[in-house]
């Protein structure tokens, strides 16, 4: 479903992703861990097509995301192609970025109506179903400022899902939350993993949560995958020294 093929990303002289190759299968939940600055968030930003890449190609569902076919060869994608490609990716950030002047329901309906062209009735039905799923249907008419951080994040997850993305990205979705509301957000993600066959890529510092719900953990170091494997192997029996050092520091 997601393929990074020899992807390089540089900011000036700084190489942030270094010839990175990474495949995520349909329905797989992959978590990226690693020290600050190792390129974790950049991987997600590349998938959101927020940045251009300096080398390699990224594919989503078999189609190039960063490039478009032209006369039999792949050329860098133009803005129109990127806009369409981007709609197959859903993203939740550390800061929820809900539209402040819209209610929870309106936040969820906006993309389906404006970008996908759904009727208001269809968008409302879809959004209400998702708000129900994240336990926020009772608050659907509230504006974000009246909701707690955990509640806003659950609305943000429903809003991303309302676009029926092929891939969902979660970037540190619990790190701006008060400890007592982290569980309500991780439980929603847990349900997505167990009940929906969504392909997901997550960056988190919550190692226990990552170990519980991921199919695979990728440990990043210096813009490369230093080590990867099933959670019990990577956390229980890390092989590389850098992985061992990182895990003992975050415990």
Binding region for ligand ADP (CB under 6 A): 11, 14, 16, 34, 36-42
**Which one, 14 or 249, has the nearer CB to ligand ADP?**
14
Structure tokens at 146: 């009246």
Nearer to ligand ADP, 19 or 61 (CB): 19
Q: Comparing C-alpha atoms, which of 200, 191, 197, 238 is closest to residue 219?
A: 238
Q: Which of 97, 142 has the CB closer to ligand ADP?
A: 97
Min dist CB 21 to ligand ADP, Å, is 17
Q: How far is the CB of 132 from ligand ADP (least distance, A)?
A: 33
Spatial CB neighbours of 111, under 8 Å, sequence gap ≥ 6: 159, 162, 163
Residue 40 host element (H or E): helix 40-47
Spatial contact of 168 and 189, defined as CB atoms under 8 Å apart: no
- What is the DSSP code string of 105-138? HHHHHHHHHHTS---HHHHHHHHHHHHHHTT-GG
Angstrom distance (rounded) from CA 77 to CA 225: 26
**Nearer to ligand ADP (CB atom), residue 105 or residue 219:** 219
Q: Minimal distance in Å, beta carbon 112 to ligand ADP?
A: 30
Least Å from the CB of residue 172 to ligand ADP = 8
Residue 99 has φ and ψ, to the nearest 5°, of -75, 120
Q: What are phi and psi of 200, to 5 degrees?
A: -135, 145
The DSSP H or E segment spanning 227 is strand 224-229
Min dist CB 40 to ligand ADP, Å, is: 4
Q: Please state the closest distance from residue 7 (CB atom) to ligand ADP, in A.
A: 13
């Amino acid at each position: 479903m997601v393929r990074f093929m020899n992807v390089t990303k540089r900011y000036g002289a700084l190489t942030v992703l270094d010839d990175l190759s990474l495949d995520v299968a349909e329905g797989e939940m992959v978590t990226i861990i690693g020290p600050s600055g190792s390129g974790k968030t950049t991987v997600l930003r590349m998938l959101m097509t927020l940045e251009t890449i300096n080398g390699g190609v990224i594919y989503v569902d078999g189609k190039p995301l960063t490039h478009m076919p032209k006369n039999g060869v792949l050329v860098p994608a133009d803005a129109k192609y990127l806009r369409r490609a981007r709609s197959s990716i859903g993203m939740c950030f550390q800061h929820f970025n809900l539209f402040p002047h819209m209610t929870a329901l309106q936040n969820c309906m906006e993309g389906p109506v404006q970008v996908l062209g759904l009727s208001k009735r269809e968008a409302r039905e879809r959004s209400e179903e998702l708000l129900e799923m994240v336990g926020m249907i009772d608050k659907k008419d509230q504006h974000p400022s009246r909701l707690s951080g955990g509640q806003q994040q659950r609305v943000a997850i429903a809003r991303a899902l309302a676009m029926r993305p092929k891939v969902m990205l979660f970037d540190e979705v619990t790190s701006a939350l008060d400890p007592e509301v982290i569980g309500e957000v991780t439980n929603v993600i847990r349900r997505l993993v167990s009940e929906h066959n969504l392909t997901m890529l997550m960056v988190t510092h919550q190692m226990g949560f990552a170990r519980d719900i991921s199919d695979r953990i990728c440990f990043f170091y210096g813009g490369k995958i230093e080590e990867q494997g099933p959670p019990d192997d990577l956390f229980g029996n890390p092989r590389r020294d850098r992985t061992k050092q990182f895990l003992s520091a975050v415990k």
